[in-house]
């Protein structure tokens, strides 16, 4: 057991300098981490009720989430790499709701409800094509990258407010909200970031990476209004990198 | 629920049972069922379509998933999963059809399916909404169909058109009976909401949202129908006013129906009263009474049918339902009937009329903004009814200045003071004219001012305290008056009510108002 551990450590500790002349051309990585922040956004849903339009203004505040990423990079010069990455993020957020619900007997006398909804999920799938600039010092590699992003978002939007009311219907009491999951079309944006890698061996390394993604996909709220959201945000991940 | 719809559900249930392994699970199976849903969702065989917060158990949610095959929803195959705040599955109910596979490439386009559905329906049928490509599980197997609605006459059908052949795979009546709020255009062209009842035959003027049944009838200006209904005392259910699309265009029907509801609202909100008898007795409105050739320019309360009858007016006046003060006036006769029941003659008759004018005007101020012009609240009675809005010529009475209205028949102007009380035999002892004395007292109590006969000035409660004056008169009349009440009794009753409700200051103002009109 002790011997096997020693062999393993020896393998990890193989000096990279010794093999610098034959640096592997490809780097594959898998990463997982946290989505530190992303922007809130607002959307208005509407539906017909009592011969008038009910209106729900919802301000969505996404919470922190998780990010997973897989990437493949190809060295094209000593200091440049071309990289493609696929990431998936998910976060649960809240929404502050201001609903105006038509009165059954009168036009222009909406009943108002202020409420909140939680557990609203938003996921994003993004593909990035980046150019990476590298600086290597011993076992440490710094990469700064930027490039184009294609992103698709899926989000729970507040569709309808369920409420209780009784004659004379001038007031309503909140019961719950119903949400609908909607998907965006593909949106294009950009991303930029940096990573710092500690190379254990010629082939293995562990990196910390921060990536900021900016894209504005369009979601169609229940009722037909379209809204552009600030997707992406700042994600930090720890990545295991393999060179070949 | 219409029988056709029940049959449709039954057929669907049979089809689902026939096709496969329904996956309904109870609590003992929830964990594996929850994991299975996740697996099916990951494979794209389930699509989350709705998340509903649990109103009874905070934190719980109900997730609904449609079964999907090749991108097409399977009709009726849905699972609902209850989860707790931590996301644990608590229950799964519904149906999932195992082993369902189908080619979901249609041979028809959606527009072709819509045309096929219209062609298979009665003349004039129109497809509404966007056809949806779905899989329809039938006992003989699942069929790829376009699902759409088709509307014709007063029907709404759900039709499933085979997406390969264009044949009708299935159809059912999808018109459900329920309370429905539509829109209407009143006598003066204003838009209102109409609380109606929907059913297979369209929409009926029956208010299902207010506690009592408020029903509006349409006699169609028919002499025979008017005779049978009024003289014969028969309100034929077939005469309930109807609309094909819940967009009501007959102003008399719209205003009679809507203003009856608004009057109920006024009494409920201002006085806590539930309808004419205080116990939500059904109220009927009867419109288009008598043919236009008879020129019936009036409205009246029928105490036997608990109904208000509205004439369609004449060359001068529009249909009599077109003014809320008139509608509330007539309904207030019903309130009087079930409370103090003032004898419709002499002073009690005048008080009966005055109380209807007062409450009619109060309802007008409750629902319309104060001001000059049509559909503005003021102290004229029936001022909205004439085609040419020009009170006092276009009104029938005034609370502010009763004497502005003079009767050639009686040879008097409406008195604004007890010293001018008409004591002759006409008009039941002047019930419509002498009411001006009490109406003037109410006006002075609200607005203050000078009585033109006594020249006594009243401070009044002020229009901002209109509600106080209304409550005082309502309580005084309905709680303390008796059938043979006199003006002096009305004075005492309203002073008593003011003391009950508010205090000495308000009671003094009430006394001052009555003193100004010569009632001590």
Tally the C-alpha atoms within 13 A of residue A51's C-alpha that lie toward its C-beta: 23
CB contact under 8 A, B181 and A162: no
* Chain A residues within 8 A of B55 when measuring between CB atoms: 162, 175-176
Q: Which residues of B touch A178 (CB under 8 A)?
A: 50-53
CATH topology of domain B8-97: Nuclear Transport Factor 2; Chain: A, (3.10.450)
**In the structure, what pLDDT confidence band is assigned to residue B20 with cuts at 50, 70 and 90?**
very low
Residue A210: both structure tokens together:
């921060």
User: What's the confidence (pLDDT) of residue B281?
Assistant: 96
| Shortest CA gap A179–chain B (Å) | 5
Instruction: Establish, for the pair of chains A and B, how many residue pairs have beta carbons separated by less than 8 Å.
Output: 59
Which residues of chain A fall below pLDDT 70? 1-22
Which of A51, A167, A181 lies closest to B182 in CB terms?
A51
- Integer Rg of chain A from CA: 25
B182 touches chain A (CB under 8 A): yes
The pLDDT value recorded for residue B250 is 97
A:163-222 residues touching chain B, CB 8 A cutoff: 167-169, 175-181
- Cβ–Cβ of A105/B193 closer than 8 Å? yes
CATH 1.10.390.10 fits B346-516, yes or no: yes
Q: Does B42 touch chain A (CB under 8 A)?
A: no
Cβ(A20)–Cβ(A200) below 8 Å? no
Q: Is B452 helix (H, G, I), strand (E, B) or coil?
A: coil
Buried b / exposed e over B69-103, threshold 16 CB at 10 Å, is beebbbbbbbbebbbeeeeebbbbebbbbeebeee
Considering B271, B333, B417, B432, which one is annotated as catalytic? B432
Give the residue with greater pLDDT, B339 vs A11.
B339
Residue extents of the structural domains in chain B: 8-97, 110-174, 177-324, 346-516
Q: What's chain B's Rg over C-alpha atoms?
A: 31
Q: Which of A48, A49, A51, A122 to mutate to test the interface with B (most CBs of B within 10 A)?
A: A51
pLDDT given for residue A180 in this prediction: 84
Q: Cβ distance B216 to B253 under 8 Å?
A: yes
Q: pLDDT tens, B247-284?
A: 999 999 999 999 999 999 999 999 999 999 999 999 99
Least confident residue range of A93-102, B56-65, B420-429, B480-489: B56-65
B64 contacts chain A (CB < 8 A): no
Phi, psi for residue B75 in degrees, rounded to 5: -60, 125
Q: Which two tokens stand for residue B102?
A: 């189908």
Question: How high is the pLDDT of residue B56?
Answer: 67
Q: Residue B40, preceding bond cis, omega within 30 degrees?
A: no
The residue of B38, B49, B50, B53 whose CB has the most chain A CBs within 10 angstroms, and thus the best one to mutate to test that interface, is B53
The sign of the CA dihedral B30, B31, B33, B39 is positive
Tell me how far apart the alpha carbons of residues B450 and B433 are, in angstroms, rounded to a whole number.
20
From B45, B118, B157, B330, the catalytic residue: B330
Q: How far is B363 from chain A (nearest CA, A)?
A: 15
Q: Is B157 a catalytic residue?
A: no
Q: Tell me the C-alpha distance between A210 and A35, whole Å.
A: 10
Q: Is the pLDDT of residue B465 over 80?
A: yes
| CA separation for the pair B252, A204 (Å, rounded) | 86
Give pLDDT, residue B13. Answer: 37
Two structure tokens written together for B90: 């608590």
Spatial neighbors of B373 by CB under 8 A, at least 6 apart, are: B389
> Cβ of A32: how many Cβ atoms within 10 Å?
12
State which residue of chain B sits closest to A164, comparing Cα positions.
B55
Using DSSP's 3-state secondary structure scheme, residue B198 falls into: strand
Do B268 and A179 count as a contact with CB atoms less than 8 A apart? no
How confident is residue B24, by pLDDT bands cut at 50, 70 and 90?
Answer: very low
pLDDT mean over B178-197: 92
Q: How far apart are CA A211 and CA B370, in angstroms?
A: 63
Q: How much is the pTM?
A: 0.71
pLDDT computed for residue B154 by the predictor: 52
Q: Which helix (H) or strand (E) holds A126?
A: strand A111-137
In this complex, do A105 and B53 lie within 8 Å of one another by their Cβ atoms? no
B56: Cβ contacts below 8 Å, ≥ 6 apart: none
Q: Which of B218-222, B232-236, B256-260 has the lowest mean pLDDT?
A: B232-236
Quick check: helix, strand or coil at residue B491? helix
- Predicted confidence at residue A208, as pLDDT, reads 97
CB contact under 8 A, B51 and A178: yes
| CATH code of domain B177-324 | 3.10.170.10
A51 touches chain B (CB under 8 A): yes
B364 a catalytic residue: no
CA distance, residue A127 to nearest chain B CA (Å):
20
């Amino acid at each position: 057991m002790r011997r096997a551990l020693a062999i393993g450590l020896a393998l990890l500790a193989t000096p990279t300098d010794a093999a610098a002349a034959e640096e592997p051309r490809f780097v594959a990585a898998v990463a997982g981490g946290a989505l530190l922040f992303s922007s809130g956004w607002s959307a208005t849903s509407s539906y017909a009720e009592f011969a008038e339009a009910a209106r729900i203004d919802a301000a969505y505040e996404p919470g922190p989430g998780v990010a997973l990423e897989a990437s493949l990079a190809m060295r094209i010069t000593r200091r440049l790499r071309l990289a493609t990455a696929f990431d998936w993020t998910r976060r649960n957020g809240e929404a502050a709701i201001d609903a105006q619900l038509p009165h059954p007997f009168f036009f222009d006398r909406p009943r108002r409800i202020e409420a909140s909804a939680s557990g609203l999920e938003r996921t994003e799938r993004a593909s990035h094509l980046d150019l990476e600039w590298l600086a290597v010092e011993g076992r440490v590699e710094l990469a700064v990258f930027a490039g184009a992003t294609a992103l698709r978002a899926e989000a729970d939007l507040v569709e309808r407010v369920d409420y209780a009311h009784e004659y004379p219907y001038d007031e309503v009491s909140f019961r719950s909200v119903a949400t609908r999951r909607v998907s965006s079309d593909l949106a294009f944006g950009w991303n930029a970031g940096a990573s710092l890698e500690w190379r254990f061996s010629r082939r293995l390394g562990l990196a910390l990476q921060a990536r900021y993604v900016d894209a504005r996909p369009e979601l169609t709220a229940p009722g037909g209004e379209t809204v552009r959201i600030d997707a992406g945000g700042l994600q930090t991940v720890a990545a295991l990198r393999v060179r070949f | 629920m219409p029988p056709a719809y029940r049959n449709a559900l039954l057929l669907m249930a049979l089809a689902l049972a026939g096709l496969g392994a329904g996956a309904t699970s109870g609590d003992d199976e929830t964990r594996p069922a929850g994991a299975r849903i996740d697996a099916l969702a990951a494979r794209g065989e389930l699509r989350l379509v709705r998340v509903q917060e649990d109103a009874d158990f905070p934190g719980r949610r109900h997730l609904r998933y449609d079964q999907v095959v090749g991108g097409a929803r399977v009709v009726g195959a849905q699972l609902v999963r209850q989860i707790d705040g931590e996301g644990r599955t608590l229950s799964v109910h519904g149906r999932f059809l195992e082993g369902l596979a189908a080619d979901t490439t249609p041979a028809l386009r959606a527009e072709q399916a819509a045309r096929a559905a219209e062609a298979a329906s009665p003349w004039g049928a129109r497809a509404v909404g966007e056809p949806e490509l779905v899989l329809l599980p039938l006992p003989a197997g699942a069929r790829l169909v376009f699902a759409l609605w088709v509307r014709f006459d007063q029907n709404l059908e759900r039709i499933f058109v085979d997406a390969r052949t264009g044949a009708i795979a299935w159809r059912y009546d999808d018109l459900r009976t329920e309370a429905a709020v539509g829109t209407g255009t009143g006598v003066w062209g204003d838009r209102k909401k109409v609380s109606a009842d929907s059913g297979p035959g369209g929409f009926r003027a029956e208010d299902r949202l207010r506690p009592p049944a408020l029903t509006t009838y349409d006699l169609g200006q028919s002499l025979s129908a008017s005779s049978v209904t009024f003289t014969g005392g028969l309100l034929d259910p077939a005469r309930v006013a109807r609309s094909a699309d819940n967009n009501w265009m007959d102003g008399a029907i719209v205003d009679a129906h809507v203003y009856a509801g608004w009057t109920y609202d006024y009494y409920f909100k201002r006085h806590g009263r539930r309808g004419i008898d205080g116990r939500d007795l059904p109220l009927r409105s009867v419109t288009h009474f008598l043919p236009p050739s008879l020129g019936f320019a009036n409205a009246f309360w029928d105490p036997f049918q608990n109904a208000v009858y509205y004439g369609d007016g004449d060359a001068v006046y529009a249909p009599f339902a077109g003014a809320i003060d008139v509608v509330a006036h007539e309904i207030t006769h019903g309130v009087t009937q079930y409370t103090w029941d003032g004898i419709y003659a002499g002073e009690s008759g005048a008080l009966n009329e005055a109380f209807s004018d007062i409450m009619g005007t109060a309802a007008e101020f409750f629902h319309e903004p104060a001001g000059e012009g049509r559909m503005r609240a003021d102290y004229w009675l029936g001022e909205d009814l004439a085609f040419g809005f020009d009170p006092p010529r276009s009104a029938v009475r005034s609370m502010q200045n009763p004497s502005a209205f003079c009767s050639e028949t009686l040879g008097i102007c409406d008195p604004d003071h007890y010293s001018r009380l008409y004591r002759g035999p006409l008009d039941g002892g002047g019930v419509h004219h002498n009411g001006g004395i009490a109406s003037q007292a109410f006006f002075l109590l609200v607005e203050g001012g000078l009585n033109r006969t006594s020249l006594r000035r009243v401070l009044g409660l002020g229009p901002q305290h209109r509600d106080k004056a209304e409550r005082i008169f309502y309580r005084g009349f309905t709680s303390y008056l008796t059938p043979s009440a006199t003006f002096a009794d009305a004075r005492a009753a309203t002073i008593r009510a003011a003391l009950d409700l508010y205090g000495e200051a308000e009671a003094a103002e009430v006394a001052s108002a009555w003193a100004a009109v010569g009632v001590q």
